[in-house]
Amino acid sequence: MFSFIKSLFVTNEDKKKGQGFLDSGNYSDAVAHFKAALEKSPGDSGMLLNISQALFELKNYEDAVPYLKTAAEKASSINPVPAIMLGFALYKLDRLDEAGEALKTALKIDSKHPAAHYYTGLLNLKQGNVDSATDSFEEVISEKPTFIQARLLAIGEMYIIDSERKKKG
């Protein structure tokens, strides 16, 4: 009984330390402490996302993918954020088909989530699907008009589309 209580305390201590390191920009130490906390509480969705966030800051998307896959499976139909983060990590790794599947999953959970539409727009741009990208960015703007990145990208895309039409016409 005592060891169980102690393990809970240690886990909370590792969570606290990990969060402190994450907040201060010491991402490697944050990962180490979050992993220690995860060992004592396997499958903790919060820890899976915290580890992934720290790995994102280190631009280590490859190592984040397994944590995000587990988090996305656990979230299933409740929370789109793990699937969005997974889609982004896969996008950064140029695993575009997998990224698209993760983002589709996120949009099935929350069809109006601005970040899911934003990253879907980026994915469509990278794949050369300008019209689909524009649709995604317009969806972001309709849901969250202050989402400046989407607005700028949408404006840029509209400029490119307009320029191409003028060249053809």
Tokens at 13, concatenated: 């201590």
Q: Identify whether the C-beta of residue 38 lies closer than 8 Å to the C-beta of residue 31.
A: no
Q: What is the CATH number of the domain that holds 143?
A: 1.25.40
Whether 88 is in a domain gets the answer no
Percent over 70 (pLDDT), the chain = 89
Q: Identify whether the C-beta of residue 51 lies closer than 8 Å to the C-beta of residue 31.
A: yes
Q: Identify whether the C-beta of residue 80 lies closer than 8 Å to the C-beta of residue 116.
A: yes
Quote the pTM value. Answer: 0.81
pLDDT at 99: 98
pLDDT at 134: 87
Whether 120 is in a domain gets the answer yes
Whether 23 is in a domain gets the answer no
Q: Which residue has the higher pLDDT, 100 or 149?
A: 100
Q: How many domains is the chain partitioned into structurally?
A: 1
pLDDT in tens, 46-88: 999 999 999 999 999 999 999 999 999 988 788 999 999 999 9
Domain range for 117: 112-169
pLDDT in tens, 108-136: 999 999 999 999 999 998 898 989 988 99
Whether 149 is in a domain gets the answer yes
